[in-house]
Amino acid sequence: MSVLRWLAIGAVRVLVFLYPPGYRRRFGAAMVSDFCERLEDRSARGVVAVAGLMVRTVGDLVATAASEWLAPSDRGAGCVRRRDREGAGRVGLVDRLRTDVAFAWRLIVRRPIFTVVAVLTLALGVGANTAIFSAVNGVLLRPLPLGRPDRLVMVWESNVGQGWTRGPVAPASIHDWREQVTSIRDMTAYGPGVATVAGDGLPEVVTAAFVMGNFFDVVGVRAAQGRALVDDETWADAAPAVVLSDALWSRRFGRDPRVIGSVITVDEVAREVVGIMPAGFDFPFRGTGVWLPLGWDRSARQRSWFRRERFLSAIARLEDGVTPAAANLELGVVAARLQAQREDADGATFAGLTPLKEFLSGESRTPLLILLGASALILLLACVNVANLLLVRANEREPEMALRAALGAGRSRLLSQSLTECLVLALIGGTAGFGTAMIGVRALRVLRPPEALQLDALAIDGRVLLFALAVTLGTGALFGLGPALRGAASSAAATLSRRVWSSEGRQSRRLGQVLVVTEMALAVLLVASAGLLLRSFVAVRQVDPGFRIDDRVAASIFLPDRYGTDAELLAFVDDLVPRIERIRGVEAVTWVSRLPFTGTTSPFGGFAIEGRGLQRNTEPVGNRIVAAGYFGVMGIPVLRGRAFDESDRSGMEPVMVINERMARRFFPGKDATGRRLTWDETPDSSSRWYRIVGVVGDEHQNGVRSQPQMEAFIPFRQLPSARIHFIIQTHAGVAMLAEALRVELAAVDPKLPLMALQPLDRLYGALLGRDRFLLSLIGSFAILALVLASVGVYGLMAALVARHSRELGIRVALGAAPRQVALSIFARGLAPAAIGVVLGLGSAFGLTRILATVLYGVRPTDPLTFIGVTAILMLIASVACAIPALRAARLEPTAALRLD
Amino acid sequence: MTHRDPGEQRPLGATEFHVLLVLLDGPQYGYAIMKAVEEESGGRISPEIGSLYRLLARLASDGLVEEAPAPRGVAVSHPGRDRRYHRLTARGRATVGVEARRLREVVQLAVARAVLPARSRS
C-alpha cells in the first residue's frame, strides 16, 4: 500500500504542474497536502477505494488545469467576467500554441544548416528504430495467422543425454497423448517434405506439408474454397486427397475454380483436390504448396517404427482455461508413465510443450531484441546530439531570451516556446525518419538471411506507425527539455550585463559535458558490440567445413516408390551419371544421401562393435550413404585405410568408413580399420556386420557453428538410397548446368522433376546469413554512432572556443603561450570523452553478455575488442578536440577582443 | 475589477452555495471544506480537489472569499501539512444571505404550486 500511496502522491505532484504557474504557486502545495489527507482517509477502505480516488482525481486535475489555461488570466466578477471575456479577445491555449508553432517555424527556417543537421540526425535515429521495430512487430508481436493462436502449443521431446532437445516426436506418442492428456483439446502433427506435382507441363517440385487429417481443425484455419482435410484422412484407407495453396493454384492452375474436385498427380499418385487455402496462408513452412495427408496404414499403430521413429512436429490446442504451464506438467506426467510402460524404454527422454508463437520465433528472438536494443542506443545518441546542438543554440540565444524575460515574458512562456520548437523539430525529424524507415524496411528485406530469421511479415502497420509517433514525441521531449530549461532559466540581469569573468556558462558547459560523456558511452557500447560480432564473424569464417565448397553444385533427385528395388536404383544411377559426366564443363560427379550442411541421418539406438558388444551412444552417431568417389570429389582426406571403390558392391563384404571423431571416441589410440560393427543392438548370426575400411576427416555436417558429429558412411552400391543429392564439380554456370541436366534427366526418366540446383558456397553463405545480417546492421549502427559522437564532441568544443574566444584572446594578450591555450582546450574536451569511454566500457562489460548466444569463438568480454574500441574512440575524440584547440591557439587577441 | 452589489448577484451554483455555507462557521481549509460539503449535501455533492480549488479561486476573484491565516494551534498539530485556509468576506456573508432568501422564495413558489407540502421543514 505504501508504494501505491507514494505513487499516487507523486502523480498528483506531477499533475499540479499542468496548471498555469501563477495558479500553481497559489494553490499547488495546498492541493497536494489536501490530497494526502484525503488519501489517508481513503486508504482505510482498501486498494479499490484508493484506485477509484486516483482515477477521479487525475481526471479532475487534468480537466481543471486545461480550463484554467483556457480561462483569461484576469478574472472578472461572476457573470460580468464572461461578458468581458468575449470582448477582450481570449489568449487561450490554442492561440498560444499557434503563436508558438509559427515562431518555432520561423526559427527553424532561419537556420537551415542547423535544421538539416538536426533533422537528419533524428531521421536516422527514428528511422532505424522504426524499421527494426517493424521486424520485431512482424516476428514477435503480430499473432500467427491461425485461429486463436494463443491456445496453440508446440509439443516436443528432449533427450539431453543423446544431445537433442525440443525434437520431433513419434506418431504413436501423438496418438497416446491426444487420448490421455486432458488439458489438451486436440493434437495434430506435420512433417516436412517435397512433392512432385504433375499434370500439364513439366512436373514441378513444391514444398509439401505432410499432415494428420485434423491439422486444419487444430490450427483453426478453413479452406478458402472447397474443404480442408478431415480427421479420417490421416489414414491410408481414405481416398487420396490434396489441399493446394493459393499461390500454387494461381501459378499452376490459373485460379480455375474447376480444379476443386478434379484429380491431379502428386508424387505419381492420383489425388483429388479437395480445397484451396486462403491467399498468403503457408503454415507450417515458408511457401508450402500442398498439404498431403500422412496416409498411414491403420495397422501401422502396431508396428514398432510407429513408436520409435521421431519425425513429426506436434501441435496441440489447449482446453480453455488451461495454462501452458499446467498442460506441460500434465503432459510430462503422462509421457513419463507411458515411457515406463514400454519395454524398450529410454528413460532419459521426456516430453514438454511451448507456446507455438514462442517456439516458432525462438531462433529470431535474441537477434531481434539485440537489434532493437542497438537501434534504441542510436536513437538515444541522436537525441543527445540534437540536445547538444540545441544547447549551443540556447547559449547563443541567451541574450534574446533574457531580453524577452526582462520585457515581461514568464519563464513558463519561454519554456513552452522552446519545447514547442523542439516538438516541431521532432515532428519534422520523425516524418523524415518514417521515410527512412520505409527505405530501411526494404533494405531489411534484401539483407534478410534466407532461413535464419523469419522476417516474412515485414511491413509497416498501425502499430509501427504508433511506435514511430511515440518515439518521435518522446524524442522531442527528451532532447528538448534540458536546453529548454536551460534557456528559460537564464537570469535576465546577469545575461544582459554580459560579463566576461563569471560563473555564467558553467552550468551550460556542465550540461554539454554530460552530453559528451553520454555520447561517448553510448558509442562505446555500440562499437564494442560491433567489434565482438566482427570477431565472431571472422572466427566463423575461419572454420573449415571439412570439405570443398567451391565450384561444386548440388542437384537433388528423390526417386519415387516405383524404383522399388536396389537394382532399379542402381540402374537409374548407372544410366544418369555417365550422361552428367559428359555435360560440357563438368569435371566430376558424386552423390550422397543428404545435402551437405543439413545434418546426418541418425539411426535410433546404439550399435555393437565385434568383440566389445553394445555401445550405447551418449551422443548420436550419424549415418550417410555415399557414392564411391564422394570423399575424393569433396576433398575429404582419407586419414587411414582406404576410401570406397567400385569393388564395394552388393554381394561383397559390407564395408564402412568412419570419421575421425568416431574413430577417436570408440577406438582411441588404436587403428579402427579392420574392425567390424553392426547396427543391431543384440547381434546374432543374421546381423549385418560392416567392416571398417577407412577413417576420413570430419565434416561440419550441421553447419559451421556446431561441432562435427560422429559419423559412419556406407557405400551406395551396397545400400542404394532413393534420396540422391548429386554433387557436381564444374566451372560452368549454374543456369547452363541446370538446362543440360534437365535434358539428360528427361532422357532417363521424363516423369522425374529436377529440384533447384544449389551451389555449395551459396549453401555455406546461407549458414552465415544470420551472422552477416547482425554484423552488417550493428556494424552500420556502430559507424553511425562514431559519426554522431565525433560530431557531438567536435560541436561542443567548437562552440566552447567560439564562446570563449574573448577570454582566450585576453589570455593570449596577457602572455599565455598559444600551445598552453590549445592544450587547455584539448584537455577540457578530452576529459569528458575519456570519462564517457570508461563508463561505456563498464556498461559494455555487463551488456555484451546479451550477445553471448550469437557469438562464436569469442567471449562477450573479449579484452582485445575492448582495447581496440577504447583506442578507436579516444582517437576520434582526440581529433574532434584537436581541431577546435588548434583554432583557439591561432586566435588573434585583438580580433577576439573586438568580437563583442 | 468592479464588485456589484450582492443583490445583483447571479444565482449561485449548488456547490458554490454549499462551500459558502460551510465557511459561515469560520475559516476552513480545502479538504475540510470538501468533507463538510459532502456531508451536508448528503453525499450528493462531492467536489474533487481540482474543481474545489478552481471554485475557491473564482469565489475569491468575485470577492466572496479570502484567504485567512490558520486558526491558532492548528498548524502545530499538523506538522508537514500545507493547509490553506479560506474565510468569507463581508460580501460573501451577504451573498449567502441573498442566495438563501432567493432560495426561500423559490421554495415558496414550489409550495404554492403544491409541489411541496406547506409544513415541510425543508
Supply the pLDDT for residue A638.
95
pLDDT over threshold 90, residue A733:
no
- Nearest residue to A275 (alpha-carbon basis) of A233, A316, A218: A233
- For A307-318, how does the pLDDT look when each residue is reduced to its tens digit (9 = 90+)? 777 788 899 999
Q: Is A616 on the interface with B (CB under 8 A)?
A: no
All residues of chain A having their beta carbon less than 8 Å from the beta carbon of residue B9 are: 78
Which pLDDT tens digit goes with each residue over A47-90? 777 777 877 887 788 778 777 776 644 443 333 333 333 333 44
| 8-state DSSP, A628 | T
pLDDT of A515 > 90? The answer is no
Q: Is residue A426 pLDDT above 90, yes or no?
A: no
C-alpha cell at A304: 514398432
Q: A171 near A155, Cβ under 8 Å?
A: no
Residue A619: C-alpha distances to residues A7, A159, A595, A707 (Å): 55, 10, 21, 12
Mean pLDDT to the nearest integer, A359-371: 81
Residues across chain A:
900
Which residues on B lie below 8 Å from A80 (Cβ)? 2, 4
Residues of B in contact with A78 (CB under 8 A): 4, 9-10, 62
Task: Determine how many CB atoms are found less than 10 A away from the CB of residue A377.
Answer: 23
Pick the most confident of A497-501, A626-630, A879-883.
A626-630
Which of A33, A57, A79 lies nearest to residue B10, judging by beta carbons? A79
- CB distance B58–A75 less than 8 Å? yes
- What is the DSSP secondary-structure string of A670-722? S--TT-EEES-SS--TT---EEEEEEE----TT-TTSPPPEEEEEETTTS--S
CA distance B99 to chain A (A): 14
Distance from the B50 Cα atom to the nearest Cα atom in chain A, whole angstroms: 5
> What is the grid cell recorded at A626?
555415399
pLDDT of residue A829: 83
Question: How far apart are alpha carbons A134 and A1 in whole angstroms?
Answer: 39
Taking CB atoms and an 8 Å limit, are B1 and A26 in contact across chains?
no
Calpha distance A462→A685 (Å, rounded): 70
Q: Which residue of A26, A64, A79 is in closest CB contact with B51?
A: A64
- pLDDT of residue A718 exceeding 60: yes
- Pick the residue with more confidence: A406 or A520? A520
Residues A133-139 have a mean pLDDT of 81
Cβ separation B10–A27 shorter than 8 A: no
pLDDT-derived band at B120 (thresholds 50, 70, 90) equals: very low
Weakest mean pLDDT among A204-218, A439-453, A518-532, A687-701: A439-453
Q: Where are the alpha helices (DSSP H) in chain B?
A: 14-23, 30-40, 49-61, 74-77, 90-112
Chain A residue at shortest CA distance from B2: A77
Is the pLDDT at A12 greater than 80? The verdict is yes
**B121 falls in which pLDDT band (50, 70, 90)?**
very low
Q: Which one of A37, A57, A76 has the shortest CB-CB distance to B48?
A: A57
More confident residue, A606 or A219: A219
A27 touches chain B (CB under 8 A): yes
Q: What share of chain A is helix, strand, coil (3-state, %, to 5)?
A: 55, 15, 30
What does the pLDDT read at residue A265? 87
pTM: 0.65
Question: What are the distances in angstroms from CA A781 to CA A129, A440, A528, A705, A875?
Answer: 11, 13, 11, 25, 19
Residue B7 pLDDT exceeds 60: no
- The three cell numbers of residue A152 are 496453440
What is the predicted pLDDT for the residue at A293?
92
Which pLDDT band, with edges at 50, 70 and 90, does A284 fall under? confident
For residue A506, count CB atoms less than 10 angstroms from its CB and return exposed for 0-12, middle for 13-18, buried for 19 or more.
exposed
A255 versus A818: the higher-pLDDT residue is A255
Are B49 and A38 a contacting pair at CB < 8 A?
A: yes
How many A-B residue pairs are in contact by the CB < 8 A criterion?
80
Answer with the residue of higher pLDDT: A665 or A107. A665
3-state secondary structure of A206: strand
pLDDT, mean of residues A423-441: 85
Kindly state the helix (H) or strand (E) to which residue A727 belongs, with its residue range. strand A723-730
Which has more confidence, A177 or A423?
A177
Question: Residue A391: is its pLDDT beyond 50?
Answer: yes
Mean pLDDT of chain A: 82
Q: Write down the pLDDT at residue B78.
A: 56
Provide the pLDDT confidence category of residue A140 given band limits of 50, 70 and 90.
confident
Average pLDDT over residues A5-31: 83
Q: What is the mean pLDDT of residues A416-436?
A: 83
pLDDT tens digit sequence for A667-715 = 998 898 999 988 877 777 788 899 999 999 999 887 787 788 889 999 9
CB interface of A with B, residues 28-57, below 8 Å: 29-38, 56-57
Give the gap in angstroms from C-alpha B110 to the nearest C-alpha of chain A: 26
Query: CA of B39, closest CA in chain A: separation in Å?
Result: 14
Q: Which residues of A touch B11 (CB under 8 A)?
A: none
- How, if at all, do strands A690-696 and A655-659 pair? parallel
Query: How many Å lie between the alpha carbon of B92 and the closest alpha carbon of chain A?
Result: 12
A128-137, A261-270, B1-10: least confidently modelled range: B1-10
Task: Tell me what pLDDT residue A490 has.
Answer: 61
Contacting residues of B for A29, CB less than 8 Å apart: 82, 84
Q: Which residue of B has its CA nearest to A72?
A: B58
> Per-residue confidence at A501, pLDDT binned at 50, 70, 90?
very low
* Mean pLDDT (whole number) for A801-819: 79
Contact predicate A639/A696, CB 8 Å: yes
Q: Does residue A123 carry a pLDDT above 60?
A: yes
A351-355, A660-664, B78-82: the lowest-pLDDT one? B78-82
**pLDDT score recorded for residue A685:** 79
Distance CA A143, CA A120 (A): 34
* Pairwise CB contact (< 8 Å): B30 & A77: no
Report the run of H or E that residue A361 belongs to, with start and end. Answer: helix A356-396
Judge whether residue B2 has pLDDT over 50: no
Q: For residue A70, list chain B residues with Cβ-Cβ distance below 8 A.
A: none
More confident residue, A868 or A13: A868
Interchain CB distance below 8 Å, B50 and A61: yes
Residue bearing the bigger pLDDT, A694 or A163 = A694
Least Cα separation, residue B49 to chain A (angstroms): 7
- CA distance, residue B83 to nearest chain A CA (Å): 5
Residues in chain B: 122
